[in-house]
Structure 1
Amino acid sequence: MLKGFKDFVLRGNVIDLAVGVVIGSAFTAIVTALVNGIFNPVITLLFNADDLNSAGITLREKAGDVPAVVLSWGSVLAAVIQFLLIAIVVYFALITPMNYLKKVSFTKKKEEEAPPADEPPSEIDLLVQIRDLLSSQNSAQRGADDHPPYDSGAPEAKPVS
């Protein structure tokens, strides 16, 4: 039982996944700090709010014990900005370089593969070669006469009287 667990944990994919999760969580902390420290204050200034999370539209004011109804779009906007930043960085820092490396590797493998020795001749090329061979054989059999009498190879028919 422990051997199976050890094989599972030491498999390369599990370790790569663990490293990805750790780096991803550290990267999320960086992006969260960037959004909270830079983007949120700028958006808060633009919309004249105390805090981006409190930015929103009041649909109904507070009346007595009934709380106010506020459409808080500020926190949604902050989450969208954070998502877009993460997506942009992942695309340009990971996906684009990996696609480039795959492309370079593929072209290198293609260049290393030996091209086929000779392409097989096409059907037309074969027919031309057969025609030329037959022509040379016929001219050798005929000798100097260009138009020998046609011989079908059938026995001659006797004239009927």
Structure 2
Amino acid sequence: MSFVSELKKFAIKGNVVDMAVGIIIGAAFGKIVASFVGDILMPPLGLALGGVNFTDLAFILKEANGDAPAVAIAWGKFVQTVIDFIIVAMAVFVGVKAMNSLKKKEEAAPTAPSAPPKQEVLLEEIRDLLKK
């Protein structure tokens, strides 16, 4: 099998396409969550904490000197990123939980009884004849 045909076979598999769609949607969802946290959630939280903007919070290790920028540990950005992650994790958890509950409902749905296999019917007839 040539490299190109193997690559084509791999790329056409449903799982690869599903994964690619998931990654693209996940990236877009991440942007939505980042906007939600940065533009909607954090401003009221910062206001409640005395007008603090979390992205500006940092420990300055070395002040700016001339053209050299300041060296700082931007812990406020880290806090905002952690909040982003928690919201994404909760949203994914809720989504997966909903999908699992739908899957359980499908599995629990009763199926129509099917006719027993011919061998089983034949064995039952033999058993009934032997009883007589």
TM-score range, shorter chain: 0.5 to 0.7
Partner deviation per Cα, 1:20-68 (whole Å, 9 max, x = no partner): 0000011011111111111222233233356312225x58795x99x98
| Alignment partner of 1:106 is 2:107 | yes
Q: 8 Å contact 1:47–1:55 — kept in the other structure?
A: no
Compute the TM-score of the two structures, normalised by the length of structure 1: 0.55
| Alignment partner of 1:55 is 2:65 | no
Instruction: Pick the structure with more helix per residue.
Output: 2
Percent of aligned pairs with the same residue? 31
In the other structure, the counterpart of 1:157 is none
The structure with the larger Rg is 1
What is the number of residues matched between the two proteins?
Answer: 109
| Partner Cα separation in structure 2 for residue 59 and residue 102 of structure 1 | 52
* AA of the residue aligned to 1:107: A
Q: Can you give the 5+ residue segments of structure 2 that lack an aligned partner in the other structure?
A: 117-132
Q: 8 Å contact 1:49–1:55 — kept in the other structure?
A: no
RMSD: 3.1
Q: Does the C-alpha gap of structure 1 residues 86 and 22 become closer, same or farther in structure 2, counting only changes over 3 Å?
A: same
In the other structure, the counterpart of 1:46 is 48
Partner deviation per Cα, 1:89-119 (whole Å, 9 max, x = no partner): 1122x212211122112212xx3275xx9xx
In the other structure, the counterpart of 1:139 is none
Compute the TM-score of the two structures, normalised by the length of structure 2: 0.66
